[in-house]
Amino acid sequence: MLLPVAAAAAAPAVLANPLICRLKFAPLDTEILIMALRATHSATGRIDEVAVRAALPNDATLAELDALALTMAMRAPVAKTVAEQITTMTAGPQRSAADGPWLEDIHGDSPALRAARQIVRDLRCWRKGEVGWQDLTRTLLLYGPPGTGKSWIARAMGNSAGFSVVTGTFGQWQAAGHLGDMLREMRRTFSQARAQAPTVLIIDEIDAVGSREDRDRDRHNHSYRVQVINAFLAEMDAVAREEGVIVIGTCNHPDLIDPAVLRAGRFDMKVALPLPDADGLFSVFRHCLPDLREVDLRDLAARAVGCSAVDIDAAIRQTRAIARGQKRDMTLDDLRQVFILDHDPAIDRRVALHECGHAIICAALNLGPVRRIFLNRDGGGGTVFTAREKPGLLSDLQDRLTQILAGRAAERLVIGDISAGAGGSADSDLAQATMIATSIQTRYGLGAQGPVWTADPETLIALDPDVLFRVRRELEAAEKRAVQILSVHRNLLEEMAEALMASRDMDRTEAQDRLARVRHTAPDDDHNARPAPQPE
């Protein structure tokens, strides 16, 4: 016998018998409704999820929807119409772009969005008394390139959870004056967050906190940094002891942050946020241009792949300014001209081969699932994958080197030469590979110098020809290994590159379908795998 009861408090006392099994169901939300609509409004299990999500009210409104209204809405023949009728029947105030951003309006399935949605769901449960504060994830670090929407997602989390939002930055605090003034402003921000609880406290550019491990030659600077970090740790610990404040940090370079700041308990969850894909860009365009049709927004999103949210916002504002100067309204054609696709096919092919080379080596060496491969508007590209945990053996580091240098290897294999695309900035392929190869020799105890740790490997590689020789040999062996693996999969490499040139953005599903053809390479298959050089 099944007895549905609206709330536990309304259940008859006889049902409190411990022999009676009690099941508690989650309140209605977007994910539950979409799952139901797949079953009830599609013979194939597929619906237009983007359109349904866009038409639905937020999860807080769905949770309050009564059964009669839901039943009436579900009678509509099309899933999108069901969503529209639910929105029409809900009495609560509807969200607007002006009040945003809202997490429900941000499309995509990136790790950052999944983490944000899970935290917001838990916060709603906490507000209803269904879960204790101690059981929640209360801290999140979002990191990635500038303009990827880290602060935007953080604000959306506060709005969708119904929490107040307080922001602070180390730059803002330092602008107050000397050390004492800076610490006072920091503490004031944390106090404001506690006073306005429930609160989402956003600390932008948190990598400015620095690290006590950086031994500055200027003792005054080092002492200043230590006092700032210690004070920040004290505030984070104080917030953790109280209920009602979620802390979200955003930064570009998490590697610059003191390890004590990043440890579990201070930042429990750390998630990368790369440049948005076409689905994510659609969300940005819809937030900025809510009056345009979906088909036009999606066309703009496809044109803008490789842009950040900040790039799009700036381009729209500039286009509006130009239209105002001509005493007219901004048009869709104006925007299409801004995001016009004008690429050199030869450059596109080289970049596509480069990125698909990275992806194939990821699959061949079982480094982790590829989530996305894309081409930028500026002639660059990217490959995003979720790295699997490795024990840090020499072979693990050599696998990573092979993957990093696979872009150059793919260019060399198919085109016959290499470009400068793997080099340049401090986060380029060559920079990352050189850092790993240098650390093998000077920091990890896996090279010719044995268990010796070097404090300044960058200087050592510049001054010691022997270390430079060993680092170069490591890099050349990794690139040669990448060429050998890619040679076996050359047809796939060229097919994937052609597909990427056509779409400019390959999602996880398509990438995994294509990479299923890759043969995994065991260490014994690699003729270049070798033990660490031993000291003579």
Residue 267: burial class (beta carbons within 10 Å; 0-12, 13-18, 19+): buried
Neighbours of 259 (CB within 10 A): 9
Contact (Cβ atoms closer than 8 angstroms) between residue 54 and residue 294: yes
| pLDDT per residue as tens, the chain (536 positions) | 666 665 554 456 666 666 677 777 778 888 899 999 998 988 888 888 888 887 888 777 787 787 878 888 888 888 988 998 888 777 444 455 555 688 887 777 788 988 999 999 999 889 888 889 989 999 999 998 887 889 989 999 999 998 999 999 999 999 988 899 999 999 999 999 999 989 999 999 999 998 877 655 556 677 888 999 999 999 999 999 989 999 999 998 888 898 999 988 889 999 988 888 888 888 888 888 888 888 888 888 888 887 888 888 888 998 999 999 999 989 888 888 888 766 788 999 999 999 999 999 999 999 999 988 988 877 788 898 888 888 889 999 999 999 999 999 999 999 999 888 788 777 789 999 999 999 998 888 898 878 878 777 777 777 688 888 999 999 999 999 999 999 999 999 999 999 999 888 898 889 999 999 998 875 545 444 454 454 44
Q: Give start and end residues of each alpha helix (H) in 15-98.
A: 30-40, 49-55, 59-63, 67-74, 79-89
Strand segments, DSSP code E, in 417-463 are: none
CA proximity to 346, closest of 425, 277, 406, 417: 417
- Half-sphere exposure in the Cβ direction for 325 (13 Å, CA): 6
The set of residues, in sequence order, having a beta carbon less than 8 Å from that of 297 and lying 6+ positions away, is 282, 285, 286, 289
What is the spatial order of strands in the sheet that 381-385 belongs to? 381-385, 370-375, 505-506
What does the DSSP assignment read for 467-505?
HHHHHHHHHHHHHHHHHHHHHHTHHHHHHHHHHHHHHSE
H or E element at residue 167? strand 164-169
Q: Residue 12's pLDDT is what? A: 64
Contact (Cβ atoms closer than 8 angstroms) between residue 470 and residue 489: no
Residue 467: burial class (beta carbons within 10 Å; 0-12, 13-18, 19+): buried
- Residue 91 main-chain phi, psi, to 5 deg: -85, -20
Cis peptide before 101 (omega within 30 of 0): yes
272 DSSP β-pair partners: 143
Q: Residue 527's pLDDT is what? A: 43
Interatomic CA distance for residues 305 and 276, integer angstroms: 8
Q: Residue 360's pLDDT is what? A: 97
- The CATH label, of 2.40.10.10, 3.40.50.300, 3.90.1150.200, 1.20.58.110, for the domain at 103-272 is 3.40.50.300
Q: Residue 186's pLDDT is what? A: 95
Q: Residue 8's pLDDT is what? A: 53
Interatomic CA distance for residues 507 and 371, integer angstroms: 6
Encoding tokens for residue 75?
Answer: 């009678």
Q: Residue 341's pLDDT is what? A: 64
Q: Residue 7's pLDDT is what? A: 52
Q: Residue 212's pLDDT is what? A: 79
Residue 232 identity (one-letter amino acid)? F
- Domain extents in the chain: 30-93, 103-272, 283-338, 345-525
Cis peptide before 111 (omega within 30 of 0): no
Q: What is the largest CA-CA distance in the chain?
A: 83
Q: Residue 403's pLDDT is what? A: 96
246 DSSP β-pair partners: 200
End-to-end alpha-carbon separation of the chain, Å? Answer: 78
Distance of CA 489 to the CA centre of its chain: 29
Residue 286: burial class (beta carbons within 10 Å; 0-12, 13-18, 19+): buried
CA proximity to 144, closest of 316, 382, 352, 373: 382
Interatomic CA distance for residues 168 and 157, integer angstroms: 16
- Beta pairing, strands 370-375 & 381-385: antiparallel
Interatomic CA distance for residues 514 and 308, integer angstroms: 27
Q: Residue 217's pLDDT is what? A: 52
CATH fold of 345-525, please? Answer: Methane Monooxygenase Hydroxylase; Chain G, domain 1 (1.20.58)
Confidence (pTM): 0.59
What does the DSSP assignment read for 208-251?
GG--TTS--SSHHHHHHHHHHHHHHHHHHHHHHTSSSEEEEEEE
